[in-house]
């Protein structure tokens, strides 16, 4: 009886550190990827229409993973009207958008120059 208990204790105490070690490896393995695919990742788009008055921009955009949205052309609201000063229809852009109470809002917008 005493031997069996000893064996169980031995198994538990050796299994635990092994498990902890594996978790650490797994974490460090996917951590860099998780950081780059966070909400700050920018999406490619092309300006179709700019409506500075209404702070709106129509973009043909690539898939937006953070919003679970496929590629399409749609209207976005910009958080800051000044963002629209530097873009015009036809420009290739990179942007970050969030869903704010059902309104897709652009929080960052930059023109891609070739
Ligand atoms: Cu869309």
CATH classification of the domain holding 58: 2.40.50.320
Q: Which residue range is the domain that position 96 belongs to?
A: 43-111
**53 and 9, same structural domain?**
no
| Distance (Å) from CA 32 to ligand 1 centroid | 27
Q: Average pLDDT in the 21-30 region? A: 50
pLDDT at 9 > cutoff 50: yes
**100 and 55, same structural domain?**
yes
Nearest to 43 by CA among 75, 73, 65, 76: 65
Considering only residues 76 and 20, tell me which one the structure prediction assigns the higher pLDDT.
76
**49 and 12, same structural domain?**
no
Whole-structure pTM value: 0.65
For 56-85, write each residue's pLDDT tens digit.
999 999 999 999 999 999 999 999 999 999
| Distance (Å) from CA 83 to ligand 1 centroid | 19
| Distance (Å) from CA 67 to ligand 1 centroid | 9
Say how far apart CA 69 and CA 54 lie, in whole Å: 23
Predicted pLDDT of residue 41: 84
| Distance (Å) from CA 43 to ligand 1 centroid | 11
**14 and 66, same structural domain?**
no
Number of folded domains that form the chain:
2
């Amino acid at each position: 009886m005493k031997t069996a208990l000893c064996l169980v204790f031995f198994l538990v105490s050796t299994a635990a550190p092994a498990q902890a070690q594996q978790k650490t490896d797994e974490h460090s393995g996917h951590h860099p990827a998780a950081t780059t695919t966070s909400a700050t990742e920018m999406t490619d788009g092309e300006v179709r229409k700019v409506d500075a008055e209404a702070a709106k921009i129509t973009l043909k955009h690539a898939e937006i993973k953070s919003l679970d949205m496929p590629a399409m052309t749609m209207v976005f609201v910009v958080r800051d009207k000044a963002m629209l000063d530097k873009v015009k229809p036809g420009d290739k852009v990179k942007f970050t958008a969030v869903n704010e109470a059902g309104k897709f809002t652009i929080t960052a917008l930059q023109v891609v120059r070739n």
